Structure 1
Amino acid sequence: MYENTFPNKRYKHTINFLKEVIPDTNEHILDLGVRNPFVDFMELEGYTVQNTSGEDLDIDTSAVQQTDATVITAFEIFEHLIAPFNVLQDIKADKIVASIPLKLWFSPAYRSKTDMWDRHYHEFEDWQFDWLFEKAGWEIKRREKFTNPVKKLGIRPLLRMVTPRYYLIYAERKS
């Protein structure tokens, strides 16, 4: 079903993580961000997924406050927010699965020249992401890093073969 190509390798890794930490496909999921290709993968696995509407989650967190979802997914969205703490603190669901691209010492922060929203305000190290969640009232139950090599020649592609690029976490709201 999933080829070993970008972004499918990342999708396969992420869906396997999701299935391990949220095995019950009857849980209602709210995915932060507009509908995207990965939502199709979640639905193929039997999950029921609703997305936020593209609102600026730095300013308007009503979607996470007013949902009846029991699980929030946030796959590569927190690096785009200026204040991810606010939305994390306002989430009413008691479970979250999130991923981010890790900060790489050999690569500058991503910034699209054509799309104002397709930029990384934060590129976290794993400890920073953990701290963000802990400070917002979450307890990380599982974490995992993985590489995502690219089929290009050069020093950076070589480094990407051995340097973890993505970080996945599963957390539950602290009691």
Structure 2
Amino acid sequence: MYENTYPTKRFKLTLEFLKEHIDRTNHILDLGVTNPLSEVMISEGYKITNTSGIDLDEDTHEVETEDYQVVTAFEIFEHLVAPYNVLKAIKAKKLVCSVPLKLWFSNAYKNENDPRDRHYHEFEDWQFDWLLEKAGWTIIDKKKWTHPTNKIGLRPILRYFYPRYYIVYAERQ
């Protein structure tokens, strides 16, 4: 079903990590509008509700409910100016989230045609860990993986060796 290509590799590894930590009976609030990954999660039996697309920097009310046992956020926090505010406001006790890692050989992602599709942050793993801990989360498990491409050049070769994605499972009391 999944190949070693983007986004299928990312989806496969994300789903494997989710299955390790989250039971399908939990109700999940997935940050961001319905997307191909949330549809894959639903097809795998997870109960998912997506946020409405509000600006989470400006309005955190959708995460301030106790209706969900788990919040997931896959490649969301790098788009926020202040991810700390959302992380602090979450009422669920479990969090599974992933972010792209900062790569020394590549600039932060910026879509010139869509001002919402930009990375305000590309974290090093220790920075993201610190952000989670400061917001009251205890990291239980974490994993990194690479993002190879089929292009030719130095950067594509480096992408075989340097992890691009970082996923974390965290809990709070």
TM-score with structure 1 length normalisation? 0.97
Q: 3-state DSSP class of the match of 1:161? A: coil
Distance 1:170 1:145 in 2: 12
User: Residue 87 of structure 1 aligns to which amino acid in structure 2?
Assistant: V
User: Residue 153 of structure 1 aligns to which amino acid in structure 2?
Assistant: I
Distance 1:144 1:108 in 2: 22
Unpaired stretches in structure 2, ≥5 consecutive residues: none
| In the alignment, structure 1 residue 92 sits paired with structure 2 residue 112 | no
| In the alignment, structure 1 residue 21 sits paired with structure 2 residue 21 | yes
Distance 1:5 1:83 in 2: 31
Q: How far does the alpha carbon of each residue in 1:59-92 deviate from its partner, in whole angstroms, 9 at most, with x for none? A: 1000000250100000000000000000100000
TM-score with structure 2 length normalisation? 0.98
The CA deviation at 1:40 is: 1.1
The CA deviation at 1:7 is: 0.6
CA RMSD of aligned residues (A): 0.7
| In the alignment, structure 1 residue 126 sits paired with structure 2 residue 125 | yes
Distance 2:66 2:54 in 1: 15
Q: Moved runs in structure 1, 4+ residues, more than 2 A? A: none
Identity of counterpart residues, as a percentage? 63
**Structure 2 counterpart of 1:63:** 62
**Structure 2 counterpart of 1:167:** 166
**Structure 1 counterpart of 2:106:** 107
Distance 2:161 2:7 in 1: 18
The CA deviation at 1:149 is: 0.3
- How many positions carry a matched residue from both structures? 173
Q: Higher mean Cα deviation, 59-68 or 29-38? A: 59-68
**Structure 1 counterpart of 2:5:** 5
